[in-house]
């Protein structure tokens, strides 16, 4: 597994609230990604979870006392914050947000936040009425104005039985926010349009022509572009994947649907990445009702060519920087170079189907005006980041 936070030092602050139990999973996820996690808890947090749990998960002693004797200089609030690349408080109670907004330093965690020289992110968690209270909203607005990253909250069912805003984001969502924080913003201010997944060309209402594309590479690229600071729109064929955080998703089914969605947004895009495995042909005489075998004989299926979405975008006057994909079963370089010349695009990303079609890993080769650039075999998330870096270089974004 790729550890995307390798070497990053995160102080995780935990305050009192039922959402504190989610922090255990967050520690596990951060550590799994390679982060060095130091937990600091308030007294209230200890009523919901124990320090022993977090020591076991983080592999480090947990700090709860401002006067902790384990620090030779008795300055845990200074030493812990100086060692951190980021302080994340999750959950952040209404009381904690109020104290930080007003600069109070009455326990270890609040003092550490006040004395920090690293960025601070908070994940609010509280009852919906507490979140909607004008005092809380003023405090959150002040924290945002002070440069504190506010993560959430989400809406939904709460521990008290009520429904509304105030739920802490799930650990997986908080992990994505941390990953995005540490990602260089190479595409800040850019609009990126991507396609991903297969298309489905109907034969009748229940059957169709499609392919084995999982959409994973396109979704990994959408995630990487968003974390690199871009505004990302993902036009997706039918896949079983969650939308990456912060990405706008447009669901389509057929190649014609995908073409319409892409052309409607291509004019506003700075970069277009055509990852989708678009069917070359569609059925011209698709049946209105389900075809039945008992009618006798094999039904004739007439195929017509689908539009070339990538070539269409590349031909736009003042259009976006275009990136195409070439998935081949043989002669990768010859076919990829021919595709790049035919479609007149600056960058083609090639791969052999047997190296990654439908899987979690891949092996990519980049073809551009500067030559051929093979990337080492890696997970699609790693390759996506490397490709975004290459695109940023070619477009002058970095």
Average pLDDT for the chain: 91
Q: Is pLDDT of 324 > 80?
A: yes
pLDDT cut 90: percent of the chain above it: 73
What domains sit in the chain, N to C, each tagged with a CATH number? Answer: 9-182 (3.40.50.1950), 191-395 (3.40.50.10300)
Q: Is pLDDT of 359 > 80?
A: no
pLDDT level of residue 321 (50, 70, 90 thresholds):
very high
Better-predicted residue by pLDDT, 361 or 188 = 188
Q: Is pLDDT of 364 > 60?
A: yes
Distances (CA, A) of 349 to 216, 277, 326, 367, 379: 15, 13, 6, 6, 15
Q: Tell me the DSSP string of 47-82.
A: GTS-HHHHHHHHSS--B--TT-TTSTTS-HHHHHHH
Distances (CA, A) of 45 to 20, 107, 120, 156, 237: 7, 12, 19, 22, 44
For the beta sheet containing 36-41, the strands, ordered from the edge strand earlier in sequence to the opposite edge, are: 36-41, 9-14, 86-92, 120-124, 149-150
Nearest-angstrom CA–CA distance, 11 and 288: 60
Measure the CA dihedral 250/252/256/262, to 10°: 20
b or e along 41-52 (b: 16 or more beta carbons within 10 Å of the residue's beta carbon)? bbebbeebbebe
pLDDT in tens, 181-224: 999 999 999 999 999 999 999 999 999 999 988 999 999 999 99
337 CB neighbour count, 10 Å cutoff: 15
Nearest-angstrom CA–CA distance, 287 and 83: 66
Nearest-angstrom CA–CA distance, 344 and 326: 14
Single out the catalytic residue among 3, 74, 160, 188. 160
Distances (CA, A) of 233 to 69, 192, 213, 395: 52, 6, 19, 19
The whole-number average pLDDT for the span 305-311 is 95
Q: Is pLDDT of 242 > 60?
A: yes
* Contact status, residue 235 vs residue 259, Cβ threshold 8 Å: no
Q: What is the pLDDT of residue 298?
A: 79
Q: What is the pLDDT of residue 225?
A: 97
pLDDT in tens, 106-150: 899 999 999 999 999 999 999 999 999 999 999 999 999 999 999
pLDDT level of residue 76 (50, 70, 90 thresholds):
low
Q: What is the pLDDT of residue 155?
A: 87
Tell me whether residue 118 is one of the annotated catalytic residues.
no
Nearest-angstrom CA–CA distance, 33 and 183: 14
Cα Dmax for the chain: 89
Q: What is the pTM of this model?
A: 0.83
Nearest to 111 by CA among 84, 85, 76, 142: 76
Helix, strand, coil % over all residues of the chain, rounded to 5: 35, 25, 40
Q: Residue 103: exposed, middle, or buried by beta-carbon count in 10 A (0-12, 13-18, 19+)?
A: exposed
Q: Which long-range contacts (CB under 8 A, 24 or more apart) does 368-373 make?
A: 368/340, 368/394, 372/333
Nearest to 306 by CA among 171, 182, 200: 200
Token pair, residue 253, equals 């089914």
pLDDT level of residue 279 (50, 70, 90 thresholds):
very high
* Contact status, residue 49 vs residue 22, Cβ threshold 8 Å: no
pLDDT level of residue 78 (50, 70, 90 thresholds):
low
pLDDT in tens, 1-59: 567 899 899 999 999 999 999 999 999 999 999 999 999 999 999 999 999 999 999 99
Q: Is pLDDT of 73 > 60?
A: no
* Contact status, residue 185 vs residue 207, Cβ threshold 8 Å: no
């Amino acid at each position: 597994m790729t550890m995307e936070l390798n070497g990053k030092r995160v102080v995780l602050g935990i305050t009192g609230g039922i959402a504190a139990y989610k922090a255990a999973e967050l520690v596990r996820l951060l550590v799994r990604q390679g982060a060095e996690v130091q937990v600091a808890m308030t007294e209230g947090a200890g009523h919901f979870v124990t320090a022993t749990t977090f020591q076991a998960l983080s592999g480090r002693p947990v700090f709860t006392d401002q006067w902790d004797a384990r620090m030779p200089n008795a300055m845990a609030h200074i030493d812990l914050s100086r060692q951190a690349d980021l302080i994340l408080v999750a959950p952040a109670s209404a009381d904690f947000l109020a104290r930080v907004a007003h600069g109070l330093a009455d326990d270890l965690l609040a003092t550490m936040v006040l004395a920090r020289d690293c960025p601070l992110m908070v994940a609010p968690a509280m009852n919906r009425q507490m979140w909607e209270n004008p005092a809380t909203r003023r405090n959150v607005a002040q924290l945002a104005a002070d440069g504190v990253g506010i993560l959430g909250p989400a809406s939904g069912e709460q521990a008290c039985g009520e429904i509304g805003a105030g739920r802490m984001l799930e650990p997986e969502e908080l992990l994505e926010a941390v990953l995005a924080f540490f990602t260089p913003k190479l595409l800040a201010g850019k609009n990126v349009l991507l396609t991903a997944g297969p298309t489905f060309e109907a034969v009748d209402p229940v059957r169709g022509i499609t392919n084995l594309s999982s959409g994973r590479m396109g979704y990994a690229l959408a995630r990487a572009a968003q974390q690199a600071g871009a505004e990302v729109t993902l036009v997706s064929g039918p896949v079983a994947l969650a939308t990456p955080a912060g990405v706008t998703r447009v669901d389509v089914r057929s190649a014609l649907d995908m073409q319409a969605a892409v052309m409607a947004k291509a004019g506003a895009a700075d970069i277009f990445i055509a990852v989708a495995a678009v069917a070359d042909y569609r059925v011209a005489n698709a049946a209105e009702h389900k075809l039945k075998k008992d009618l006798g004989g094999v039904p004739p299926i007439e195929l017509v060519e689908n539009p070339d979405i990538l070539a269409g975008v590349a031909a736009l006057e003042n259009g976006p920087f275009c990136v195409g994909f070439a998935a081949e079963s043989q002669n990768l370089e010859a076919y990829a170079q021919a595709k790049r010349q035919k479609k007149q695009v600056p960058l083609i990303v090639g791969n052999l189907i047997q190296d990654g079609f439908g899987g979690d890993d891949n092996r990519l080769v980049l073809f551009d005006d500067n030559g051929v650039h093979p990337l080492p075999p890696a997970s699609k998330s790693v390759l996506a980041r490397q490709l975004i870096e290459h695109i940023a270089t070619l477009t002058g974004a970095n």
